């Protein structure tokens, strides 16, 4: 019974944490919407600098990784430790691919001189400056969440391997997958806001 209460507490704690994260990003989305309404022409111009193909590719990568994270829970529930390890490993690998794409995307922008504090950016219109400020801040914060997610899932893999996570005790895996779904959900909002609504 005590273990059952711990499970409920762990799940509740994760949902409360997710709620606070949604409030954080919700506030950023609200700021974005206000400035986009105020500087619509500048935001339109700045958005054309982003690579929609890379954004779409990263969306597909995260959707696949969310699916493998979910399937790992089913695998561990059925007692298939090897498959669960593979699925969590694939999730981490997809996260790594996301970071590689983001590295090249940011690298290209920096090469063009479009980065916070650059001379080129400071010469742009106020709305363009705000767009790129929000772009770097929101995508940077999202990348931070990706890295945290990779660390959590690596810990989960170690615990699956040692059988601390098993078919009778898999709350940590559930919470890790739930966190990863949050990361995916945030990107699903970031992608159209930054890359598609031009």
Q: What is the per-residue pLDDT for 4?
A: 60
For 97-110, how does the pLDDT look when each residue is reduced to its tens digit (9 = 90+)? 999 999 999 999 99
Residues 51, 68: Cα–Cα separation, whole Å? 26
> Does the pLDDT at position 183 exceed 90?
yes
> Does the pLDDT at position 25 exceed 60?
yes
Q: What is the per-residue pLDDT for 83?
A: 96
Q: Sketch out the chain's domains with CATH numbers.
A: 2-196 (1.20.120.80)
Provide the pLDDT confidence category of residue 122 given band limits of 50, 70 and 90.
confident
- How many Cβ atoms are within 10 Å of 118's Cβ, its own excluded? 15
> Does the pLDDT at position 152 exceed 80?
yes
For 44-77, how does the pLDDT look when each residue is reduced to its tens digit (9 = 90+)? 898 888 999 999 999 999 999 999 999 999 999 9
> Does the pLDDT at position 2 exceed 70?
no
> Does the pLDDT at position 115 exceed 50?
yes
Listed in sequence order, the residues at least 6 apart from 119 whose beta carbon sits closer than 8 Å to its beta carbon are 113
Q: What is the per-residue pLDDT for 84?
A: 96
Q: What is the per-residue pLDDT for 5?
A: 61
């Amino acid at each position: 019974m005590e273990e059952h209460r711990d499970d409920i507490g762990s799940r509740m704690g994760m949902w409360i944490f997710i709620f606070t994260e949604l409030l954080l990003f919700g506030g950023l989305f609200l700021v974005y919407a206000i400035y986009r309404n105020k500087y619509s022409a500048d935001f339109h111009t700045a958005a054309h600098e982003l690579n929609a193909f890379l954004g779409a590719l990263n969306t597909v990568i995260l959707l696949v990784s969310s699916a493998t994270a979910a399937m790992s829970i089913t695998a561990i529930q059925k007692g298939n430790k090897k498959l669960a390890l593979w699925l969590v490993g694939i999730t981490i690998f997809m996260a790594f691919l996301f970071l590689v794409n983001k590295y090249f995307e940011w690298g290209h922008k920096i090469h063009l001189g479009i980065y916070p504090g650059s001379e080129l950016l400071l010469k742009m219109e106020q709305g363009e400056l705000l767009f790129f400020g929000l772009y770097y801040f929101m995508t940077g914060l999202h990348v931070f969440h990706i890295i945290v997610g990779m660390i959590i899932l690596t810990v989960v893999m170690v615990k699956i391997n040692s059988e601390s996570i098993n078919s009778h005790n898999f709350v940590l895996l559930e919470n890790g997958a739930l966190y990863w779904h949050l990361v995916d959900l945030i990107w699903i909002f970031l992608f159209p806001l930054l890359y598609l609504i031009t």
